Amino acid sequence: MKNILTKGRISLLVIFSVIIIDQIIKIAVKTHMYLHESIHVTDWFYIYFTENNGMAFGMELFGKLFLTSFRIIAVFLIGWYLIKIIKQGAKTGYIICISLILTGALGNIIDSVLYGILFNESSHSAIATFLPAGGGYSTLFYGKVVDMFYFPIIDTTWPMWLPIIGGQHFIFFSPIFNFADAAISCGIIALLLFYSKYVNETYHSHA
């Protein structure tokens, strides 16, 4: 029982820490930067404020309400699974990975569900304000996800002598993402690197 409580506390610490950090960054960017404004940190790292209606890293595949509903259902399922593995005494690292994935999804749900009513529209000429007098830029469930981390690690032009792509501009890792996206990615990568064997063993032992 004590072990379950300890692992549960670790999971809650991860969840609350990621959500708080994610929302502080998003709100700071949203209320202090113009849309598509860029802050040069280094040649390979920029704070670049953009918004999207879609999934992680700015991908837009389906309708807005469908995506938000899908995220909420996914969070409930991952949350149920997280409680289950904590009760079963799963490895602490595995619990942290699942907690990161859950919290990343939850962080972007907050934007999608609430930001439309909490902020007015960000634009190239206006910075958004929190709880504006005239109301938000949209309705409940129709908010945009705030992204800001941009890592153009390689920004170059292909040599002219290369066939087809010669002379074209090339950026390695062009997606713009947020802290919640990073939490999801870190959780998934750590699962694949360190716990894929553990997941298989757990699955076969319960099959």
Q: What residues are annotated to the active site?
A: 147, 181
Is the CB of residue 90 less than 8 Å from the CB of residue 161?
A: no
User: DSSP string spanning the chain?
Assistant: -HHHHHHHHHHHHHHHHHHHHHHHHHHHHHTTS-TT-EEEEETTEEEEEEEESSSGGG---S-HHHHHHHHHHHHHHHHHHHHHHHHTT--HHHHHHHHHHHHHHHHHHHIIIIIHHHB----SS----BS-TT--SS-TT-PPEEEEEE--SEEEE--TTSTTTTT-EEEES--EE-HHHHHHHHHHHHIIIIIHHHHHHHHHHH-
**Phi, psi (rounded to 5 degrees) for 39:** -115, 120
- C-alpha angle 141-99-147 in degrees, rounded to nearest 5: 45
- The rounded distance, in Å, linking the Cα atoms of 63 and 152 is 29
